[in-house]
Chains A and B, each alone.
Chain A
Amino acid sequence: MHTIFPLTLTGIGFAPNEVPVLAGIDLRIEGGARTVILGANGAGKSVLMRVMHGLLKPTAGHILWNASESRPRAQGLVFQRPVMLRRSALANVAYGLKLAGVAYDRRSMQARAALERVGLAHLADRPARVLSGGEQQRVALARAWALEPRILFLDEPTASLDPTAARSVEQVIVDIHAAGATVVMTTHNLGQARRLADEIIFLHAGRITERTPAEEFFHRPHSTEAQTFLQGELP
């Protein structure tokens, strides 16, 4: 079975207009865990996610997936605001499958199955854009999940949602991980990080200051920047 891991970032930097957003990032993700990236606003969390996913090209360093330069397709990125096309929820999920080259007759079936997994089968034929924020985000997750990703990136996936919706989304993330996908996500919500993370990567001014198993991090972080961050933030 072909594996895309480990994901290795070496000397990654991102400085689009000479202003360094990321610098000297060395990271190795073996796969299997739920990794949460924490950091203050502007620390570069979203940019790091996009660089890892392949949406942004780093200005320095390289990314290797299992020692290969080619970017694997078995990965997804879920954004803070779900992007829904003007079509039904089912069609939105099927769209991802279509782009992945799945044959027409199988798309509908697989899409419906994905919606069922996130608990939205009853909304399959509803126009996606009239769904609530939480429902749309779950459709986005279903869309990513239907593609059977080995790794799923999530950029502040519940930041725009109310607590109930956020909880249902968190549950889906847990389910996706349980089904075998590695999860890498960013969040501002420390309670969410506590609930979901196996390990924490702390980003400060574009650099990784520490990478610590979650329980240890919240009990006693290693870096001063992380300590300051935890003291300043409300859980």
Chain B
Amino acid sequence: MRDLPDGLSAALGLVAGLDARLLDIVALSLRVSLSAVILSAMLALPLGALLAVGDFAGRRTLTVMINGFMGLPAVVVGLLVYLLLSRAGPLGPLGLLFTPTAMVIAQAVLVAPLLAAFTRQTVEDAWREYREQMHSLGATTRQATATLLWDTRYSLFTVMLAGFGRAIAEVGAVMIVGGNIDGVTRVMTTTIALETSKGDLPLALALGLILIALVLAINALAYVTGAWAQRRLG
């Protein structure tokens, strides 16, 4: 059990030394997961809001499906996106496989159900409060959706953080579509997997601790932002 303290000291050493390769890996992880969440949110948030506000055939079925897809294993998503982007697949000619873009796509697909489902719940709760007033003022479904998305922005920010957490912590999808190529598609989680399989547990642990610290820092930032917003805007 010396691995844990070894891991801690190794982690501190890496961070203090500002190891260039480590910084590249961390930067890539952040880039990929942030881009994935933003990309995914552009589609998933309006979809979630529409599911809450809209009234169309198949709404309930779609809701159940999206809730279910939250549980999609990352490897399965990775495999599906791989088949899509492979040269032998439909989007092969784009040559996206084994690039950070492929990783962004895979993670965007992975977090989309989560973003949509939580958005739906958040917007639904707000809609309950706003529905009559908005109908009274003559808002169309489209207008109501946009207004609710903006009005619940702080809760939605937390939703996006949840998506980001899921994205940056997963390894199954990015491993398959990225290939864990040194210097190109190697992110924190795939590096941890690699170092673990090489038996270098202290290093793997060190990276793991850095990853946890990073995610905690981002969440602390979000909490502070949310609390400040709550006080100022009610």
Asked if A and B form a direct contact in the complex, defined as CB atoms under 8 angstroms apart, the reply is yes
By a beta-carbon cutoff of 8 Å, the part of chain A in contact with chain B is 50, 53, 55, 73, 76-77, 79, 83, 85-87, 95-96, 99-100, 127-130, 143
Which residues in B have their C-beta under 8 angstroms from that of A100? Answer: 137-138
Q: Fill in one digit per residue for B197-234: 1 if any A CB lies within 8 Å of its CB, else 0.
A: 00000000000000000000000000000000000111
Selected contact of A73 from candidates B130, B138, B153, CB within 8 Å: B138
Q: Fill in one digit per residue for B136-176: 1 if any A CB lies within 8 Å of its CB, else 0.
A: 11110001000100010100000000000000000000000
Question: How many angstroms from the CA of A205 to the CA of B157 in the assembled complex?
Answer: 47
Which residues in A have their C-beta under 8 angstroms from that of B129? Answer: 83
How many residues on chain B are close to A (CB under 8 Å)? Answer: 16
Selected contact of A83 from candidates B130, B143, B153, B233, CB within 8 Å: B130
Known: A77-B136, A79-B132, A83-B133. A99 touches B233 (CB 8 A): no
Which residues in A have their C-beta under 8 angstroms from that of B147? Answer: 85, 95
28 residue pairs of the A-B complex, CB under 8 angstroms, read A50-B132, A53-B136, A55-B132, A55-B135, A55-B136, A73-B138, A76-B136, A77-B132, A77-B136, A79-B132, A83-B129, A83-B130, A83-B132, A83-B133, A85-B130, A85-B147, A85-B151, A86-B233, A87-B151, A96-B137, A99-B137, A100-B137, A100-B138, A127-B232, A127-B233, A127-B234, A128-B234, A130-B233
By a beta-carbon cutoff of 8 Å, the part of chain B in contact with chain A is 129-130, 132-133, 135-139, 143, 147, 151, 153, 232-234
Mostly, the B contact residues are: helix
B28 to chain A, nearest CB (A): 36
Closest to A143 in B: B137
Question: How many angstroms from the CA of A20 to the CA of B63 in the assembled complex?
Answer: 33
Which residues in B have their C-beta under 8 angstroms from that of A95? Answer: 137, 147
Question: How many angstroms from the CA of A163 to the CA of B147 in the assembled complex?
Answer: 33
Closest to B133 in A: A83
Mostly, the A contact residues are: mixed
Closest to B234 in A: A129
Which residues in A have their C-beta under 8 angstroms from that of B232? Answer: 127
Which residues in A have their C-beta under 8 angstroms from that of B139? Answer: 99
Question: How many angstroms from the CA of A205 to the CA of B137 in the assembled complex?
Answer: 29
Which residues in A have their C-beta under 8 angstroms from that of B233? Answer: 86-87, 127, 129-130
Question: How many angstroms from the CA of A130 to the CA of B234 in the assembled complex?
Answer: 6
Residue in B129, B137, B232 whose Cβ sees the most chain A Cβ within 10 Å: B137
Closest to A155 in B: B132
Cβ-closest 6 pairs across A and B = A129-B234, A83-B133, A130-B234, A77-B136, A127-B233, A86-B151
Question: How many angstroms from the CA of A61 to the CA of B232 in the assembled complex?
Answer: 48
- Beyond the given A79-B133, A87-B233, please list 5 additional residue pairs across the A-B interface where CB-CB is below 8 A: A77-B136, A83-B130, A83-B132, A99-B143, A100-B137
Closest to A127 in B: B233
Question: How many angstroms from the CA of A95 to the CA of B139 in the assembled complex?
Answer: 10
Question: How many angstroms from the CA of A127 to the CA of B233 in the assembled complex?
Answer: 5
B223 to chain A, nearest CB (A): 18
Question: How many angstroms from the CA of A50 to the CA of B147 in the assembled complex?
Answer: 23
Closest to B135 in A: A55
Closest to B136 in A: A77
Question: How many angstroms from the CA of A98 to the CA of B216 in the assembled complex?
Answer: 41
Residue in A55, A83, A129 whose Cβ sees the most chain B Cβ within 10 Å: A83
Known: A55-B132, A79-B133, A99-B143. A86 touches B138 (CB 8 A): no
Which residues in B have their C-beta under 8 angstroms from that of A143? Answer: 137
Selected contact of B138 from candidates A79, A85, A99, A127, CB within 8 Å: A99
Which residues in B have their C-beta under 8 angstroms from that of A128? Answer: 234
Closest to B148 in A: A85
Question: How many angstroms from the CA of A73 to the CA of B138 in the assembled complex?
Answer: 8
Question: How many angstroms from the CA of A48 to the CA of B32 in the assembled complex?
Answer: 55
Which residues in A have their C-beta under 8 angstroms from that of B143? Answer: 99
Which residues in B have their C-beta under 8 angstroms from that of A99? Answer: 137-139, 143
A201 to chain B, nearest CB (A): 21
Which residues in B have their C-beta under 8 angstroms from that of A55? Answer: 132, 135-136
